[in-house]
Amino acid sequence: MPLVNTKEMLQKAYEGGYAVGAFNVNDMEIVQGITEACSELKAPVILQVSAGARKYANHTYLVKLVEAAVKENPDVPMALHLDHGPSFELCKACIDGGFTSVMFDGSSKPYEENVEEARRVVEYAHKYNVTVEAELGKLAGIEDDVQVGDDDAQFTDPGEVQDFVTRTGVDSLAIAIGTSHGAYKFKPGQQPKLRLDILQEVASRLPGFPIVLHGASSVLPEFVEMVNQYGGKMPDAIGIPEEMLREAAKMAVCKINVDSDIRLAMTGVIRKYMFEHPDHFDPRQYLGAARTAVKDMVAHKINVVLGCAGKA
């Protein structure tokens, strides 16, 4: 099965009351771990690449890694997606370079500028059967080149969504309902909460339209503890409770982004491995353990949060 765009997989997710996982990829071990889990659980998947990942690993290397995953897992529907594309030029480069889906992130721009740029990306992308995601509202936190302080974060205004989708023609919409980028989503003592009322209002204004959650890692405590136990320093790392994400996936949320949880799993396992095997120096040993950690994390997300096992 060749790479697909996200249109059909997200439509099926909406109708089926589940979400598709969108996992950020940076290297071979991450790609392998994600796609092996999806193959075993027969789950569709979106492999997404941030602007920072393109700088780190090179566009061509990442595309070829994903093409290899497609060849090795022919029964898994896979989309290759640009995460947080800040400009038309970057979106165009990824479309021209083999991506099947792009996100234009104009959330930091004035509303009319966001509309205009998103529409420009859609007009180009749709000529090549590439789907487009855009964003309304601002998520707090840090992810690669995306940095938004708490004071600048804004919930999505449900009153804008119809106008935005109609005028731009985007295929999916990322909204801000309380998630945030990175591993420090809430302050100690603060009660984690998602504004499911905003999600419900958006869904009522856009019936049948796929909604996306960014910054949706749960920052599982066992991996934070593992990082800290073996020499790391991540005090007060707190994420989104998985039961809240599952509830959102039963509603209009069809795509849930996961990045920090994969990073934590890899880092925790590598720290533990190196502590327990101080004489080892072959990268294949600790990276192999990290790859297994990615696979297990993705399988956990598919079963507990996304609900997309068997949906390939």
User: What are the residue numbers of the active site?
Assistant: 83
Measured distance CA(184)–CA(186) in Å, rounded = 6
Give the Cα-Cα-Cα angle 290, 85, 180 (nearest 5 degrees). Answer: 60
User: Where does residue 186 rank: exposed (0-12), middle (13-18), buried (19+ CB within 10 A)?
Assistant: middle
| DSSP state letter for 131 | E
- Sign of the torsion angle spanned by Cα atoms 66, 67, 72, 78: positive
The token pair that represents 29 in the structure block: 């071990």
Dmax (CA) for the chain in angstroms is 61
d(C-alpha 279, C-alpha 131), whole Å: 48
Residue type, position 167, single letter: R
Phi first, then psi, for residue 136 (nearest 5°) are -125, 135
Paired with 85 in beta bridges are: 104
Measured CA to CA, the distance from residue 218 to residue 309 in angstroms comes to 19
Say whether 95 sits in a helix, a strand or coil.
helix
Q: Tell me how far apart the alpha carbons of residues 176 and 86 are, in angstroms, rounded to a whole number.
A: 17
Nearest one of 221, 219, 214, 142 to 178, comparing CA atoms: 214
163 half-sphere exposure, CB direction, 13 A CA radius: 10
Q: What is the DSSP letter of 138?
A: B
User: Cβ–Cβ contacts within 10 Å for residue 284, how many?
Assistant: 10
